[in-house]
Structure 1
Amino acid sequence: MEYKYKLAKLQYDKEKIEGLISRQKRRAGQVFPKQLELEFWEQYLERARDNINQYFWSGVLTYFIFILLIVPGDYWIIDKTHFRYDFIHSLLGLVNGALCLLALFFFAHYKKLKPFFPWASMAIVLWAVISMTWLTMTVHTEALKHQAMMIICTIYIMGYVLTGVKPFHMLLTGLMAAIIALIILMVSFVKIDVMVMSRVLVGSCVMGFLISKMLCTRERMIFLIMHQAKISERINIIHTNELLHLSQHDELTKISNRRNFDEMLNVLYDQAKRNKTALSLLFIDVDHFKNYNDYYGHQKGDDVISSIARAIKDAIRHMDFVARYGGEEFVVLLPETDAHGAYAVASNIYKGIDRLAIPHAKSLVSKHVTISLGFTVYRGEADLTEHEFLSVADQALYRAKQLGRNQIYFQSMQTEQVA
């Protein structure tokens, strides 16, 4: 069955995920199979974009407070000899940082730009490191140069943590930015200690990489656990649906059982009563089925019941409802169907079973398996209960059998009988 195939596949997928979880615990950061790896990084990037969108205004407020703290501090510590030059560089650095963060937000927020977010993130980090290194290291005030070390380190760490780009890709970007920044400083003859500056740039890049790897390792484990939970949930849904299906359907005929019929009758009866529309109910019984079972055996009897259930299902409309009422009895509900329509459906059922031409040597009415069918129609009468409706249909079947079986009999709710 299809549900068993789906269940087996999900169980197999769950076992693979459990194996990956086990390996992740032994060796953190291990690469997943290709499809799962792509799914993880897509989800990781999406979360990064969502975080940037969600916390944008908080970021704006934080950056504004940062400016309020930095600008007055720079004003007091800048060497008066080079005040104008250094102060302009400090302001340009703040503006440059704001523009970089704004560009990152645009690529995270706008749908058309989202596909380019990873590449844009690496380009922004590359530009931020190079431009901020040049702006902060070309000043004359030593205190500002020391402050620049902290700013560069912050840019690297934010680049790794905020963007969701693969750590290795960001590592290459950071190292490239460090090399370009050092070359620009040396070509411009800026007075710097190359060894110290190299340590700051490369060290910040490596530190950001390690922090990013630790975060990714944790995210990988969370991703696997969530994936496992989703598969378990789907398995539970399949089990629940199958249990529900089994509780509502007859195992032999695969059509609805009496329990499901009772629920459907209640729904359609209330609907007909509320809307004052017709609801027809057919009771069907296989003639002399006990004789058939005794003569041909129960296995053959089960085959007959299954064949008749299929014939009934094929003879009714998509809007109609059929159920096995018990033993060799079946019921059919025909919503919004009057007596003429019900008789037409009943005739289709009768002819469909007749066409099966199943031999019945012990039948007292025919050489083949036949049915007796009784039906009635409820027209939304307020004074008639659901139980009375069911009882009248049952009486109609009884009358069909009493009159010799192998026939259709209609009985009105007002006990007016029409053969």
Structure 2
Amino acid sequence: MEYKYNLAKLQYDKEKLEELIARQNRRVGQIFPKKLETQFWRLNADRARNNVNNYVWSGVLTYFILIVFIISGDYWIIDQTHFTHDFIRCLLGLLNGAFCLLTLFVFSRYKKLIPYFSHAAMFVVFWAIISMSWLTMTIYTPALKQQSMMIICMIYILGFILTGVKPIQMLMTGLMAAVVTMLMLFASYLKFDAMVMARVLVGSCIFGFTISKMLCARERMIYLSMLRADISEKIHRIHTAELLHLSQHDELTKISNRRTFDEMLDTFYHQAKRDESALSVLFIDVDHFKNYNDFYGHQKGDDVISSIAKTVKNAIRHMDFVARYGGEEFVVLLPETDAHGAYAVASNIYKSIDRLGIPHAKSPVSNHVTISLGITVFRGEELSKEDLLSIADQALYRAKQLGRNQIYYQSIRSVQVA
């Protein structure tokens, strides 16, 4: 019944996810349960870290192309009066950007630093905003200063989108960087328009926060859909496994059924021929079972069949195979087992059933339930599977003729000679 418990749990989890998806559709940014929220942001951080780690060379190439365009462009933009001063600031800005990207890469690459990737990402954004703002305000060329303002805005937006940090945490980082930047600029007695600078810093921070919240809402829906698909797949596998189990096993006894026996016989038969090894076949029949059913009732009869099936399964080796052949008949396949080994296994089964001591008032041979066993051994003779089973069945029939409650061995050679 474990599969039913697992199935019920998965169905419950799926219903909860569907409730979350419905709430998420009604409200952007719906907060998950604590456990799910933690998993979502851990996955988000891992994805951001893997992106940095996996696309580092693409980033290096892009940044190199960007440097070529910026440096060549700045050469013509910069006011010749302050060329050296402003060009050095431009180079420092590019080196600073390379340092920030390298820091992110290092924290995404090395195992000891990976747990601190999110902290490093917030520090990099904080440092990039402050340093780029200072470099921007110390530039004399107006056109270059406007370009740098745009770069500050991009730092904010990329910080929110690419780092995998929670939007609220990045918002606090961005606002703190804006405050520190303004205090630093005032303390440096630099000439700048405080209102414009504040608008750039705070406006970019809020804009990045808004975009990241919208993206997170979409990511949450994707995440929930993935979880639902995963659970649906697990439910499908459980149903498939259960259907396969039902198709291969007898419902009453829980051991293999006739269909599975046919498949296993085919496997063991060809293995015996290929390896030139012995394959023993045991047929088992419950003695006078009709009398038992008529006297005790079918429910008691089913209990007996189940008990015998369980006892036979426990009495054979792990390499052997048992199946319910039909009604009160069972069949056992013993690979790599000669006549002596087969007789030993049959004796073990016989004694195990006898020890059950199930009362059978209507049995002519005993006061408790007994079995008859027929044995034959296949050694690769020119014999079909059907003929092999027929000989094993003849052995069982002979055991019944001799009075039941016994084991009878039928040699294939004796049948072929006759």
**Cα deviation, residue 107, structure 1:** 1.4
Deviates further, 272-281 or 310-319: 272-281
**Cα deviation, residue 384, structure 1:** 2.5
- State the partner residue of 2:394: 395
- State the partner residue of 2:56: 56
Letter in 2 for 1:32: F
The residue correspondences of 1:76-225 to structure 2 (distance < 5 A) are: 76-225=76-225
CA contact 1:376–1:396 (8 Å) conserved in 2: yes
Secondary structure at the aligned position of 1:375 is classed as strand
The residue correspondences of 1:15-414 to structure 2 (distance < 5 A) are: 15-381=15-381, 383-414=382-413
**Cα deviation, residue 416, structure 1:** 6.3
Deviates further, 205-214 or 100-109: 100-109
Give, in whole Å, the separation in 2 of the partners of 1:61 and 1:388: 75
CA contact 1:137–1:148 (8 Å) conserved in 2: no
**Cα deviation, residue 380, structure 1:** 3.4
**Cα deviation, residue 388, structure 1:** 2.4
Query: Residues 132-170 of structure 1, C-alpha deviation per residue, up to 9 Å, x if partnerless?
Result: 111222111111111111100111111111111100000
Secondary structure at the aligned position of 1:377 is classed as strand
- State the partner residue of 1:7: 7
Structure-1-length-normalised TM-score:
0.97
Deviates further, 266-275 or 156-165: 266-275
Give, in whole Å, the separation in 1 of the partners of 2:186 and 2:283: 97
**Cα deviation, residue 269, structure 1:** 1.9
**Cα deviation, residue 231, structure 1:** 0.9
Give, in whole Å, the separation in 1 of the partners of 2:152 and 2:379: 82
Deviates further, 276-285 or 105-114: 105-114
CA contact 1:130–1:180 (8 Å) conserved in 2: yes
Give, in whole Å, the separation in 2 of the partners of 1:98 and 1:19: 45
CA contact 1:125–1:159 (8 Å) conserved in 2: yes
Q: What is the percentage of aligned positions where both structures have the same residue?
A: 72
**Cα deviation, residue 52, structure 1:** 1.8
Deviates further, 153-162 or 128-137: 128-137
Secondary structure at the aligned position of 1:414 is classed as helix
**Cα deviation, residue 65, structure 1:** 1.0
Letter in 2 for 1:10: L
**Cα deviation, residue 415, structure 1:** 2.8
Give, in whole Å, the separation in 2 of the partners of 1:226 and 1:175: 34
Query: Residues 306-341 of structure 1, C-alpha deviation per residue, up to 9 Å, x if partnerless?
Result: 111111111111221111111000011122222211
Give, in whole Å, the separation in 2 of the partners of 1:158 and 1:415: 87
Give, in whole Å, the separation in 1 of the partners of 2:142 and 2:127: 24
Query: Residues 284-314 of structure 1, C-alpha deviation per residue, up to 9 Å, x if partnerless?
Result: 0001111111111111111111111111111
The runs of at least 4 aligned residues of structure 1 exceeding 3 Å deviation read none
Give, in whole Å, the separation in 2 of the partners of 1:391 and 1:99: 83
Query: Residues 356-413 of structure 1, C-alpha deviation per residue, up to 9 Å, x if partnerless?
Result: 11111221211111111011222234x2322222222122111111222111111223
Listed as ranges, the gaps of 5+ residues in structure 2 are none
Listed as ranges, the gaps of 5+ residues in structure 1 are none
Secondary structure at the aligned position of 2:365 is classed as coil
Letter in 2 for 1:35: K
Secondary structure at the aligned position of 1:208 is classed as helix
Deviates further, 33-42 or 371-380: 371-380
Letter in 2 for 1:404: G
**Cα deviation, residue 255, structure 1:** 0.9
Give, in whole Å, the separation in 2 of the partners of 1:235 and 1:377: 44
Secondary structure at the aligned position of 2:17 is classed as helix
Give, in whole Å, the separation in 2 of the partners of 1:275 and 1:158: 67
Give, in whole Å, the separation in 2 of the partners of 1:107 and 1:271: 57
**Cα deviation, residue 266, structure 1:** 1.5
Give, in whole Å, the separation in 1 of the partners of 2:412 and 2:182: 97
**Cα deviation, residue 242, structure 1:** 1.0
Secondary structure at the aligned position of 1:16 is classed as helix
Give, in whole Å, the separation in 2 of the partners of 1:130 and 1:389: 88
Give, in whole Å, the separation in 1 of the partners of 2:318 and 2:108: 49
Letter in 2 for 1:254: K
Secondary structure at the aligned position of 1:101 is classed as helix
Residues 109 and 337 of structure 1: CA distance in aligned 2, closer, same or farther (over 3 Å): same
Letter in 2 for 1:391: S
Secondary structure at the aligned position of 2:412 is classed as coil
Give, in whole Å, the separation in 2 of the partners of 1:125 and 1:268: 68
Give, in whole Å, the separation in 2 of the partners of 1:5 and 1:159: 45
Deviates further, 359-368 or 271-280: 271-280
